[in-house]
Amino acid sequence: MYGDTEGFEGRLRSGKGLLAVAAILLVVGLFMAARIQTAGGITVSDVRFRAPDGTQLSALVYRPTNATPQTPAPGILAVHGYINTRETQSAFAIEFARRGYVVVALDQRGHGYSGGAATAKGFGGPEGLAYLRSLPFVDKDQIGLEGHSMGGWTILAAAAAMPEDYRAMVLEGSSTGAPFAKEGTPTWPRNLALVYSRFDEFAPLMWGVASAPEVGKSAKLMTLFGTAAPVAADRDYGDIAVGAGRILRTPAATHPGDHISTVAVGDAADWFARTLKGGTPRAAGDQIWWIKEAGTGLALLGVAVLSFALVELLLGAAYFAPLRRPAAPAYDPRRWRRAFVLAAFVPAITFYMALMVLPPPIPPFALMPQAVTNWLLVWALVNVALALGIARLLKRAEPVRPPLQWPRAALLALIVVGTMYLAVAAAALIPADMRFWVIALRPLDGGQFPAFLAYLAPFTLFIAVTFRGLQAIYARASTARGQALLAGAALSAGFFILTGAQYLFLFATGRLPVAAEALNAIVAIQFVPLLFGLGMFAVFCERRTGSWLPGALIAGPFVTWYMVAGTATHVAI
């Protein structure tokens, strides 16, 4: 049990305090997001529409007040990149809408809430452009296309399929040509701005140069710009009046950093101001999207705090009283350094050096349709096997622990995760997801829920083995805060060091040390805060229940939900 009544009442007060903090973060954060998205009377609508082959596609439509059937406004199709969703383009969409453009922020095929297979049928670009042009309040003679990374290939597919139906284009961290797009020429695509950041990780793949600072020397880019000399940044090429305008912009950002770069957003807005008629003039630096990003980030933090608050409060209920136990003695703390190194680096090394460079171990199929999630599933199971094998070799004797309370722990988990999910689902009515940069929580749709159930058991097993193993590490610290920080560091330090080292090399040289690891490094960024938070949560729960089980049964479904509905997933069948 907790011990004395005063200690229990203290924890009850703590739970109420945490709940108040969570509520404040959620309310304030979502209020900020809603106000920014609708600044100046803009409306944001969550829409679904059908492609000619019957596939359902998803988008957010930003409509400024100047856009009416009587006074149609220019329109922009904005598309996210690979393993992202429509919300990652919110900085661009908000600023375009503030400048008087109707924006359709599309979920590519096989991403987010759009059906179909990723990379099929032009990624959904032609259907997205056709939908934008079908809106009665859009000026069909003033259409722009903007796409980040694979979203650039999406809008290039739209431009190739409908060459007379747009006037200008912005490629953000993207490229023309093989393997996924038509080769560019001095006159196609029309009026093109290439915004290619100085620390973009994909320069070798996209433009055939060793590093992003050399993109102007790309033979493919010089052909696209119609010049025999290297392309100079910030210089006009071609003639906008005849649709052959060209410009290269090189903000100081990384590939995923384009989403949170005021310079990259301003460069895109400035190009459309030059190439489309009918917008509302604003300076490129006049931007407010970052307040929305801060707001949804606060709301995301609020959901995390909510999980701690609910555990504290629910353990005060009579039904969950048998779960309330003092923290059990952990493994011999003298071995914590060895355990810390293994926990920190084995998962990170297996992620970077083994699984992600081999052929796909589980091809997507109906029950498990998400290619990246399948990679992570195999990675998780390999690490389960390694953890159990290492524990057996070390022959650690566990202390005697009370029987596991499976039914009560499972119900506790259902209530906690269910309440978190309801908070995220309510935010979607704004519409807004709980997001900061590449970290996001989104509600599952009908197609994602069966996949969630399929992935649930193996990811929960991974979390259970991980949480159980943390007991050998955090006992080294003598305080609750120290134990939480040590557990968080144990789970995240390997990814922090390996990913951080790659980015330090990138910032120093303009390229990654291993070009083939570009996508893996980007995916791994979100692992650092996610794993750190999971480590802290594991300690929080075990100090109150004396067991790894309640925390694992909460974190397992949460991680599965995050994987299936988040930003690093896509359907490949």
Phi, psi dihedral angles at 240 (to 5 degrees): -60, -35
Q: Which domains does the chain have, with CATH numbers?
A: 44-177+188-282 (3.40.50.1820), 292-565 (no CATH)
Q: Give the residue ranges of DSSP H helices in 276-370.
A: 289-314, 336-353
Which residues partner with 169 through β-bridges?
145, 192
pLDDT tens digits, 399-443: 556 677 889 999 999 999 999 999 999 999 999 889 999 899 999
At 9, the pLDDT band (50, 70, 90 cuts) reads: low
pLDDT score, position 413: 96
Three-class SS state of 200: coil
Helix (H, G, I), strand (E, B) or coil at 59: strand
CA 98 vs CA 34, 47, 220, 415: distances in Å? 14, 20, 34, 40
Q: The pTM is what?
A: 0.92
Q: Is the pLDDT of residue 1 over 50?
A: no
Q: Is the pLDDT of residue 338 over 90?
A: no
pLDDT at 14: 81
At a CB cut-off of 8 Å and minimum separation 6, what does 53 contact? 116, 121
User: Per DSSP, what are the bridge partners of residue 146?
Assistant: 78, 170
Q: Give the span between the Cα atoms of 111 and 129, in whole angstroms.
A: 17
pLDDT value at residue 357? 58
**pLDDT on residue 371:** 86
More confident call, 568 vs 527:
527
Residue 13 is predicted with a pLDDT of 73
Residue 365 pLDDT: 86
Confidence of residue 375 (pLDDT cuts 50, 70, 90): confident
Q: What is the DSSP letter of 481?
A: H
The pLDDT of 350-378, averaged and rounded, is 80
Neighbour tally for 82: CB within 10 Å? 21
Q: pLDDT grade, residue 7 (50/70/90)?
A: low
pLDDT of residue 12 exceeding 70: no
Q: Tell me if residue 232 falls in helix, strand or coil.
A: coil
Q: What's the longest Cα–Cα distance across the chain?
A: 81
> CA-to-CA distance for 24 and 302, rounded, in angstroms?
8
Q: What is residue 554's predicted lDDT score, i.e. its pLDDT?
A: 97
Classify residue 517 by its DSSP letter. Answer: G
Residue 398 has pLDDT above 60, yes or no: no
Residues 6+ apart with CB under 8 A from 531: 488, 491, 492, 495
What tens digit of pLDDT does each residue of 172-197 get? 999 999 888 999 999 999 999 999 99
Q: Tell me, what's the pLDDT at 552?
A: 96
**Nearest-angstrom CA–CA distance, 503 and 512:** 7
Q: What is the pLDDT of residue 4?
A: 43
Q: How far is 33 from 432, CA to CA, in rounded Å? A: 7
